[in-house]
Amino acid sequence: MWKIKIWVDEAGRWPWLWSVVACALCFNPENKPDKEFLKEINDSKKISEKKREELYNKLIQLSVWENPSVFFGVWVVDNYIIDEINIKKANREAMRRALVELLRKIDTDEIDSVLIDGNDNYKFDELKRPAVFIIWWDAKIIEIWAASIIAKVFRDKLMLTYSSLYPELNLENHKWYGTKKHIEYLSDKSKITWIHRLSYKPVKKVLEYKPKLLLHVCCWPDATIPIVDLKEKYEVIWFWYDPNIQPKKEYDKRLDNFKKVCDIEKIDYIVGPYDVKNFFDEIKGLENTPEKWDKCTKCYDMRLRKTAELAVELWIKEWTSTLNTSPHKDLVKMFSLWDKHSLQNNLEFLKIAFRKNWWFERSVDYTKKHNIYRQNYCGCIYSDTYPGGRVILNNNK
């Protein structure tokens, strides 16, 4: 006659750290623990840490007698295996190995049933009969509580060892779950430890996190290679803003090609206003000055000011511009403007000279490959290369 009922439970399925631990347990039907002790056993989540420790020690004692009252098997599956095969399969493996350990200690012909708390419906080849999976809710099942106490305390003892290695992680207080303290600790990927489960979404999110970068674009050919390189490290948001492109049909043509590149690279973008009137107001009195002089400086400053204001509005700390890709721009002058707006708005400017490392030449190849329109003048009607000739204003009229 089969007499033994085996109960299986696990600890550590949901924490973000380290292993899952399973315990398979049965009482000796011919030498059960005394009733007074059994009355003390309760759900491991409903008793104090001190009481769990006390019951754990007593259960271990009862398992090592010559004629034990308790038989159990414990198995640990670490975070590396969890990341490799997922927590559900890792949990099954921990339960399977815990059962294998227990089956060595008892007469398997005497097993009546194996009952597991949960609804995973794992299959175990080691068992003569399929395990029964039941969600126990508040039912008083002393054996399942005993199994959960052993699994939990066993895991907690090992985890407390790691708390000395990572004191900042505060393991002894948040018990390795996704508490506010744990979330605050994972402020950057350098704080992820070797015992973290890298496949868990909160940890994975930190590993995959990319800081946002607002990238000002006023010329999409110049932006093509910067975006290809920058999006590996940043979550880039493109800000299209060029207030001086003339005529309007040229502006629209360039904007359409900008959006085409955004689609190719799958980049979010924001289109700024067509600020032609403001551009003319900004450069008033400087219309006839040579290129790269004060007129151009005002134009650069207008674009960068608008970008810095948007970065503040979007709560984006880092920003930069593709203005420095073209070899026709004054890099020193632009860097001084970027420093000014960064300081005024408490921003961090990504100071990269895009024109280096053959970025300009690579952009030419990119636009050819994807059939992207490439303009032959900056867009300003006062440009030396403006189609039809540079516009000269007579300030005396």
Rounded distance between C-alpha atoms, residue 271 and residue 363, angstroms: 21
pLDDT at 84: 93
DSSP string for 4-73: EEEEEEEE-SS-SBS-EEEEEEEE-TTSPPPHHHHHH---GGGS-HHHHHHHHHHHHHHHSSSS-SEEEE
Could you give the angle at which helices 49-63 and 142-163 cross, rounded to 10 degrees? 110
Helices (H), 219-374: 220-230, 248-265, 276-282, 294-313, 331-345, 359-369
- Mean of pLDDT over the chain: 85
- What letter does residue 323 receive in the DSSP assignment? G
Helix (H) / strand (E) containing 236: strand 235-240
Identify the band that residue 103 occupies on the pLDDT scale cut at 50, 70 and 90. Answer: very high
Q: Is the dihedral of CA 111, 112, 117, 123 positive or negative?
A: positive
Q: In what order do the strands lie in the sheet with 348-349?
A: 268-271, 235-240, 212-217, 318-321, 348-349
Identify the band that residue 219 occupies on the pLDDT scale cut at 50, 70 and 90. Answer: confident
Cα 242 from chain centroid (whole Å): 34
Rounded distance between C-alpha atoms, residue 69 and residue 88, angstroms: 31
pLDDT at 357: 64
Domains of the chain: 4-166 (3.30.420.10), 168-206 (no CATH), 212-369 (3.40.50.620)
Partners of residue 335 on adjacent β-strands: none
Q: Quote the tokens at residue 323.
A: 């203005």
Q: What is the pLDDT of residues 272-286, one digit of tens each?
A: 998 888 888 888 888
Q: What are phi and psi of 182, to 5 degrees?
A: -70, -40
pLDDT at 394: 43
Residues in CB range of 37: below 8 A, 6 or more apart: 58
Other beta carbons within 10 Å of 353: 12
Question: In which residue are the tokens 């095969």 written?
Answer: 85
Identify the band that residue 55 occupies on the pLDDT scale cut at 50, 70 and 90. Answer: very high
Question: Does residue 185 register a pLDDT over 50?
Answer: yes
Question: In which residue are the tokens 């979550």 written?
Answer: 235
Q: What is the pLDDT of residues 261-270, one digit of tens each?
A: 888 888 889 9
Q: What are phi and psi of 350, to 5 degrees?
A: -80, 100
Partners of residue 24 on adjacent β-strands: 8, 73
3-class secondary-structure state, position 213: strand
Contact 260/325 with Cβ under 8 angstroms?
no
Q: What are phi and psi of 130, to 5 degrees?
A: -60, 145
pLDDT at 184: 78
Question: Does residue 396 register a pLDDT over 50?
Answer: no
The listed range with the strongest mean pLDDT (31-45, 64-78, 233-247, 265-279) is 64-78
Residues in CB range of 103: below 8 A, 6 or more apart: 73, 126
Question: Does residue 96 register a pLDDT over 90?
Answer: yes
Identify the band that residue 309 occupies on the pLDDT scale cut at 50, 70 and 90. Answer: very high
Residue 1 one-letter amino acid: M
Contact 319/311 with Cβ under 8 angstroms?
yes
Q: Could you tell me which of 11, 18, 13 has the C-alpha nearest to residue 171? A: 18
Q: What is the pLDDT of residues 317-355, one digit of tens each?
A: 999 888 776 666 677 777 788 889 999 999 988 877 666
Check: pTM over 0.75? Answer yes or no: no
pLDDT at 76: 96
Question: Does residue 102 register a pLDDT over 90?
Answer: yes
Partners of residue 321 on adjacent β-strands: 216
pLDDT at 211: 85
Stretch 139-150: mean pLDDT, rounded?
87
Q: Could you tell me which of 290, 18, 315, 299 has the C-alpha nearest to residue 176? A: 18
Question: In which residue are the tokens 């997922």 written?
Answer: 86
pLDDT at 138: 47
Contact 174/83 with Cβ under 8 angstroms?
no
* Cα dihedral: 47, 49, 50, 56 (round 10): 80
